[in-house]
Amino acid sequence: MHAMVRLADQLLVLDHGQRAGCEVRPAEVTRNPSVIEAYLGKKWVKPVLQVESLSVAYGGLRAPERRLARASGRGQFVAIVGPNGAGKTTLFKAISGIVAAVVGANSLRWARSGDGASGAARTLGIAHVPEGRQVFKSMTVLENLEMGAYLPAGPRRPGSGISSADPAPCSRACRPPRRSWPGPCPAASSRWWRSAVVSRHRRKLLLLDEPSMGLAPTVADQIFERIEEIHRQDKLATLLVEQRVVEALHSCDVGYVLETGRGRAGGIQRDAAGRRPGQEGVSWDVSNGVEKSQARKLEGGQGDAKNREKILHSRRRARNRGGAGARSGQVKEVKVALIAPFSGPWARQGDLMLKGAQMAIDDINAQGGIKALGGAKMKLVVIDAGDSIEKAKNAAQRMVAQETDVIGCTGAWLSSFTLAVTEVTERAELPCLTLSYSDQITARGFRYIFQTSPTGNEQAIQALPTIIEAARSPLPGTH
Amino acid sequence: MDNTAASVSFAKPMREGGLAKAGLNILVDETFTPPLSDATSLVQKVRSARPDLLFLLPTALPDDKLLVEKLNEFGLGRGRLPVVSNGAHIAAPEMLTALGKEQVEGIMTVVGNWRINGEDALLAEYKSAPASPG
């Protein structure tokens, strides 16, 4: 084998007529569990879960088949990274049985049952922490924990084992009292509740779907530390989906990159002895192969890493046109986007924003355009943020993917929408100017968001004395 | 108030001691998810508590209309119960056309912005510009 590895550019290993492992690079092949088992006769750790090929359909829309085999051995930490639309969440939903697989259901193999019944996932000890920040706001923290621990086939009081000793992934400041109502730090605390439940009940497989979504970088770091701690202490097989590629690949044992439903790359990040690539005898590194060259491209929000890089490149180029391009008069048009609700309950405010934005652009163009850019005209791109946070985020993703020459945007009127939209624009390095009020908008440490108005917090503090004074003076003709 | 981020941000310092410092007690603290289908139960609770001042913090125009309409229906409108909101939405011209000047009488709102040079001319131009489609 050593001679072959030194001589060959590509290496295929056959085991009883079947190809063992999907890698071809010799250094990778030697580290593939299937190859080790077939070639050396060593029994690799039996996987808790193995997915070989899987296809999911939403209505008539069929998600592409996932060809990348991935296995989560006992106690192994597997990270799956990839941009939005790659199928990461769909994969998790298929594993936990939320959506049915149209092809490849039988490829979901479980160590205990050996069958492909996705419905059995619930009783197999799978803890699925879904994407998003939904909690039951009318229930206390403890009740939320108990709901997270509930299984139809589980104990009658699933939450009875939850104790105050459960560690939290975020700082003490973010940790809500157990009897309190959800509120001060909903995003971070909801993650804490879930991981606390998972840790306590010793699930066999932990599925974490973008646990850092919407969190401040410091809080997200604490979440990752907590995940590593859970994995290390409980020996829990963990499958993590993330867009924060660097952190995810740093934490994992094995990493995979998913791109529009298909595996793009994968490999061992840390071998069974905990040795990282670069150390003696550990030569293949998913982070060397993927992270450094592609991580930043993948953290964008589009379905394709190449497109993502093109988009960032063209956007940076568009932004830098103020230099030589402007002086030579090459810039003909400067595009800015307005992302605001033009449908649903907030549509009227979107219309008013559009009216103001169009008026400003018409005014600038009527005066000869942007003088510093040789008279370049401005053009407004209008994007409907819709009537929900999810729609607003999707609209922002469409905007950064399709309008690659937009150099800045404004929106999204409703603070909740702005918070979602700026998660996308921040990754795309697209400057966003907002008049939204929430203090969270500029409290997350983002670099590409600019808030023009005082925050709601500040407004309340400043206005309260005047409000009370005004309220004490009855209107003429009343009282 | 509704549960959007702007309303939560505005209410936070008031809930966390701002009102108490000003000598005010919170009698009713209700949060709803927009859009509202009926404001009756919310306004009923307000009327039962008989407050001296109401912070009304919706964000959507349809919710503004429903709430102000219901306050008037329960006899709390037209300045009988001082109403303070946050944001310009509640002062949109559509409120006046949809509810009439009597019903919107007495509503106050806090709007955060900075004055700029030539603001009056800009506002006049904005008002005279044709409404956008929709």
Q: What is the pLDDT of residue A431?
A: 92
Q: What is the pLDDT of residue B44?
A: 93
C-alpha angle with apex A301: A299 to A305, nearest 5 degrees?
Answer: 65
Q: What is the pLDDT of residue A41?
A: 57
| Residue B18 counted as domain residue | yes
Contact A234, A73 (CB under 8 A): no
Reduce the DSSP state of residue A336 to 3 states and report it: strand
- Is A347's CB within 8 Å of B87's CB? no
Q: Give me the phi and psi of A359, to 5 degrees please.
A: -60, -45
d(CA A324, CA A321): 7
Shortest Cα–Cα distance, A224 to chain B (Å): 26
A467 at B interface, C-beta within 8 A = yes
Q: Which domains does chain A have, with CATH numbers?
A: 1-44 (no CATH), 45-299 (3.40.50.300), 307-462 (3.40.50.2300)
| Residue B133 counted as domain residue | no
d(CA A95, CA B116): 56
Q: What is the pLDDT of residue B17?
A: 87
| Residue B24 counted as domain residue | yes
| Residue B115 counted as domain residue | yes
* Contacts A414 to B, Cβ<8 Å: 4-6, 59
Q: Which of B35, B6, B38, B32 is nearest to A387 (CA)?
A: B35
Out of A213-222, A235-244, A245-254, B2-11, give the one with best mean pLDDT.
Answer: B2-11
Shortest Cα–Cα distance, A412 to chain B (Å): 12
Mean pLDDT in residue range A320-325: 51
| Residue B134 counted as domain residue | no
Provide the residue range defining the domain that includes B64: 5-128
* Contacts A346 to B, Cβ<8 Å: 59-61
Reduce the DSSP state of residue A401 to 3 states and report it: helix
pLDDT tens digit sequence for A356-413: 999 999 999 999 988 888 888 999 999 999 988 888 988 898 888 888 888 999 988 9
ipTM score: 0.87
- Is B11's CB within 8 Å of A458's CB? no
| Residue B97 counted as domain residue | yes
Q: Using pLDDT thresholds of 50, 70 and 90, give the confidence band for residue A82.
A: confident
Shortest Cα–Cα distance, B28 to chain A (Å): 16
Does residue A475 register a pLDDT over 90? no
Q: For residue A416, give both structure tokens.
A: 């909740």
- Is A437's CB within 8 Å of B87's CB? yes
Q: State how many domains chain B has.
A: 1
A58-67, A310-319, A364-373: which has the minimum mean pLDDT?
A58-67
d(CA A69, CA A116): 15
* Contacts A392 to B, Cβ<8 Å: none
* Contacts B14 to A, Cβ<8 Å: 460, 464
pLDDT tens digit sequence for A275-295: 444 333 333 333 333 333 333
Mean pLDDT in residue range B26-36: 90
- Is B5's CB within 8 Å of A440's CB? yes
Mean pLDDT of chain A: 69
Mean pLDDT in residue range B77-103: 87
Q: What does DSSP say about strands A432-434 and A14-15: parallel, antiparallel, or unpaired?
A: unpaired
pLDDT tens digit sequence for A399-450: 888 888 889 999 889 999 999 999 889 888 899 999 999 998 998 888 899 9
pLDDT tens digit sequence for B44-58: 999 999 998 899 999
Q: Using pLDDT thresholds of 50, 70 and 90, give the confidence band for residue A9.
A: confident
pTM over 0.95: no
CATH number at residue B71: 3.40.50.2300
* Contacts B12 to A, Cβ<8 Å: 439, 456-457, 460
Q: What does DSSP say about strands A109-110 and A126-129: parallel, antiparallel, or unpaired?
A: unpaired
Q: Which of A395, A400, A445 is nearest to A420 (CA)?
A: A395
Q: Which residue has the higher pLDDT, B84 or A125?
A: B84
Shortest Cα–Cα distance, A393 to chain B (Å): 15
